[in-house]
Amino acid sequence: MEVIKKYFYAFLRILFPELCIACNRPLVGNEKHLCTKCLIDLPLTNFWQQPDNPVEKLLWGRAKIEKASAFLYFEKGSKYQQILYHLKYKGRKEIGILLGQYYGQKLLSNYNEIELIMPVPLHVRKERLRGYNQSEMLAIGIAEIMNKPIVKNAVKRIYFTKTQTRKGRYERWQNVENIFQVIKPEMIENKHILVVDDVITTGSTTESLINELLKIKGVKVSIAALACA
């Protein structure tokens, strides 16, 4: 029976091939979501190995962090923009988990002091519309590799904000100022938290969350974004 299933699914894959989300080529063998070539060509930042990298510098003077990193460079119009598009808007949450696993492998050596992993919360209304929190999918993949617990109920996003896409730096900061509230401080007291986000651009949302977390006794914060613009 297992052999029959194997050949049946192989036949289906010939008729209806799964396509790479970056280049649209048919996937082969054990490839999942991304073809081997696109995986090899991922525009990695290597920031997790670089103290004082651009993501850390972005937050200097704005929020006290221990470390910060991004996995990929984000370039508008590149084939890798499709990854984020499918993750955020096309319901492909499995892509977030997969990329989180790859990212977790990179973070293991230099982020081993992390105690909790926290995805940046979405407002309940936006999460309901989207069906999931894309940052949580990334966090699931990272947590699986780093073997750290995820905490997602300690902080609440209390305001529904409009998209940041076409806003300038100051407008972005205004749009997200004081949008988070810690509702279960006992869950994060005296913990080093890795905050996981999808894309960090001006850092306004991240800054707002960090400063709310740091109000709680003994909290330390590090950042892991999937991509930086």
What are the structure tokens assigned to 53, written together?
């990298």
User: Residue 50 is part of which domain span?
Assistant: 42-228
Residue 37 shares a structural domain with residue 121 = no
Q: What is the pLDDT along the chain (229 residues), one digit of tens a residue?
A: 565 555 444 545 555 578 999 999 999 888 889 999 999 999 999 999 999 999 999 999 999 999 999 999 988 888 888 888 999 999 999 999 999 999 999 999 999 999 999 999 999 999 998 999 999 999 999 999 999 999 999 999 988 765 545 544 545 445 566 899 999 999 999 999 999 999 999 998 999 999 999 999 999 999 999 999 8
Q: Could you tell me the CATH number of the domain that includes residue 142?
A: 3.40.50.2020
Nearest to residue 14, comparing CAs of 28, 3, 24? 28
Quick one: 97 and 22 in the same domain? Answer: no
37 with 98, same domain: the answer is no
Same domain, 145 and 179: yes
Task: Using alpha carbons, select from 145, 130, 134 the residue that is nearest to residue 197.
Answer: 134
* Separation between Cα atoms, residue 194 and residue 113, nearest integer Å: 10
The alpha carbons of the chain give a radius of gyration, in whole angstroms, of 19
Strand (E) or helix (H) holding 43: none
35 and 65 inside one domain: no
- Find the angle CA(164)-CA(81)-CA(69) to the nearest 5 degrees: 70
Specify the pLDDT at position 163.
53
Longest Cα separation, the chain: 62
Q: Are 202 and 46 in contact (CB under 8 A)?
A: no
Which tokens belong to 188?
């994060």
DSSP readout, 127-175?
Answer: HHHHSS-HHHHHHHHHHHHHT--B--SSEEE-S-----TT--HHHHHHH
